[in-house]
Every structure is written in C-alpha cells, then in structure tokens.
Amino acid sequence: MLDAGKKNILGILVNAMDYEAAVSFVIRAAQERQNATVASEAIHAVMMGVLDREHQYRLNHFSLILPDAQGVRWGLNLLHRARLRDRVYGPNLTLAILTAAQEKGLPVYFYGSNPPTIVNLRRNLAERFPVLRVAGMEPGKYRPLSGQEKDELAQRILDSGAAIVFVGLGCPRQEVWAYEYRNRLPMPIIAVGAAFTFMAGELRQAPLWMQNNGLEGVFRFCCEPRRLWRRYLLMSPAYVFLLTLQALGLKSFDTEGVEPAAELSYG
C-alpha cells in the first residue's frame, strides 16, 4: 500500500497513492459515515483546474485527487519521485471499490449518465456483482438544478441507505457535483468519469498495452474525434509544456485557487 500524500502538479494537489490505499480510504470513510470527495483525474481534468482558478479551488479541497492518466502518474514520479508503479484508473478504481463494498455489505448509489445507460449498467452489475447492495440508480438531468431539486436529490440518496455514491456526469460537472454535495452527504462521493459507460458495455476501452504506455488518449480520440479533439490535441501538449517548465524550475504553480463565488448546481 502506497500513500505518499498530496503533491503539486501544475498547482493541482494530486495524491501519490495506489489502488489499495485509495480503496481502503473510501471503505473506511463509508463505514464511519464520513463525507469524502474522490476523483481520478486525467490530463484534461488537471488542465481544467490549471485554467480555472475556481475549479482549482474545488479540486484542491477534494479528499483525494488520484492519477487517472499515465501522464499524471509520470508527472508525480518525475517531479516528486513518487515511485508509483501504476496509475489509479477511474473505471478500475470503481470496480475495486464495488468489490470491497460487496464484501463489506455497503450499499452503493449511482447518479449520472442517461436512462439507457443506467438500464444496461444495472443489468451488467447484477451479473458481475450478484450480492452487491445497490441502494439506488438514477440518470443525471444535465442542467442546473433548483435549490429544491438539490435538496430532494440529496434526501433521496440519504433515504436509500447508501454508504457510497458514484457520480458519472462527465468532467468537470461530476467534480462540481461532488464538491457541492460534500456537506450534504455523510459518505464518500466518487467522481468516476466514463466508468458508467464502460461498465454498461457501451464504450470500448483501449487495449491494455495502449493504456500502459499512455496511449489511451489516441484510442479514445480515434473513437470519438469530434467530441475529444480539444482534449487531446490542445490540453495534452499544454500539460507536457507546463510540466516541463515546472520540472526545470522555470515556473512555479501555487495551489490556492479562488473559492467559487456561487454554486453551479449541476445535476
């Protein structure tokens, strides 16, 4: 188990942590009914925090920001000698948490994605995790929620008896959601990116050799070029450039951010 604490990557505080330590943290928080916010962040998600000081503040107030991408793991190893042998990939982290939750009898709640994906996700989870206690599932609305809607959503999750909430609204909506609900829900909130779609069998994952060599972005770009071109053709080169400046000591990045002036109320 490796947990070397939070490290500064372009002003974003990323945990130098492996799967075992991350799962242990989440399960302990769930058992103790403690609020916690967790996200595995790829390069584009880190860059969103670099480019938006309010979002930087949100990310840097998460309990755990984990290195979802090989590029983020390499950054931790380069700048901070973290010696991480693997990234903490969001879909794999989700499966690991679900396995532990099933073993411990901890109910889980899924919020996000769309109705057809939720149907497929429910079916596949029942096959893969036959005794997992699913407290509830509901699709996201992908629009701002009113104050009353936010209260009702939080109450539904509380009333379900859930001990862990998985949120799949896409970046940065899911991180905003986790940040804004962190004090409403006494349980870990896990922002999981495309994990819902992968687990529902609707989106192919890159071959393992591509994942291990930092080429997952190439695979996903080829699958969804219109949606992802900015992410991989603009954000990734910018990340490499800024990381090089930080490694050479030519630029430093503070971690303060700016506290959000208002809630965005994504749902």
pLDDT at residue 235 in the model:
78
In which band, very low, low, confident or very high, does the pLDDT at 229 lie, cut at 50, 70 and 90?
very low
Q: 130: Cβ–Cβ under 8 A, 6 or more apart, which residues?
A: none
In which band, very low, low, confident or very high, does the pLDDT at 143 lie, cut at 50, 70 and 90?
confident
Residue 240 lies in a domain: no
The string of pLDDT tens digits covering residues 162-172 is 999 999 998 89
Question: If you average pLDDT over every residue of the chain, what do you get?
Answer: 89
Query: What is the CATH number for 10?
Result: 3.40.50
Residue 237 lies in a domain: no
pLDDT at residue 217 in the model:
54
pLDDT at residue 210 in the model:
52
pLDDT at residue 221 in the model:
45
Least confident window among 46-55, 75-84, 233-242: 233-242
In which band, very low, low, confident or very high, does the pLDDT at 78 lie, cut at 50, 70 and 90?
very high
Residue 260 lies in a domain: no
Long-range contacts of 234-242 (CB under 8 A, 24+ apart): 235/43, 235/44, 235/47, 236/43, 236/44, 236/71, 238/47, 239/10, 239/43, 239/46, 239/47, 239/71, 240/71, 242/10, 242/50
Residue 233 lies in a domain: no
Give how many domains the chain has, as a whole number: 1
Angle at 264 between CA 231 and CA 56, to 5 degrees: 50
Residue 261 lies in a domain: no
Angle at 146 between CA 259 and CA 142, to 5 degrees: 85
Mean pLDDT for the stretch of residues 64-84:
94
Cis upstream peptide for 207 (omega within 30°): no
For residues 100 and 88, give the distance between their C-alpha atoms in angstroms, rounded to a whole number: 16
pLDDT at residue 71 in the model:
92
8 Å CB contact between 2 and 17: yes
For residues 82 and 16, give the distance between their C-alpha atoms in angstroms, rounded to a whole number: 6
Domain residues for the domain of 68 are 3-199
Q: What is the Cβ-side half-sphere exposure of residue 142, based on CA atoms within 13 angstroms?
A: 9
Residue 248 lies in a domain: no
Q: Residue 13: helix, strand or coil by DSSP?
A: strand
Mean pLDDT for the stretch of residues 111-137:
94
Angle at 131 between CA 170 and CA 174, to 5 degrees: 10
The string of pLDDT tens digits covering residues 7-23 is 999 999 999 999 999 99
Cα–Cα distances (Å) from 217 to 42, 73, 110, 152, in that order, read 10, 15, 26, 37
Return the closest-CA partner of residue 97 out of 161, 154, 153, 31: 31
The string of pLDDT tens digits covering residues 173-223 is 999 999 999 999 999 999 997 888 888 776 666 556 555 555 555 545 455
pLDDT at residue 202 in the model:
67
Residue 218 lies in a domain: no
Residue 57 lies in a domain: yes
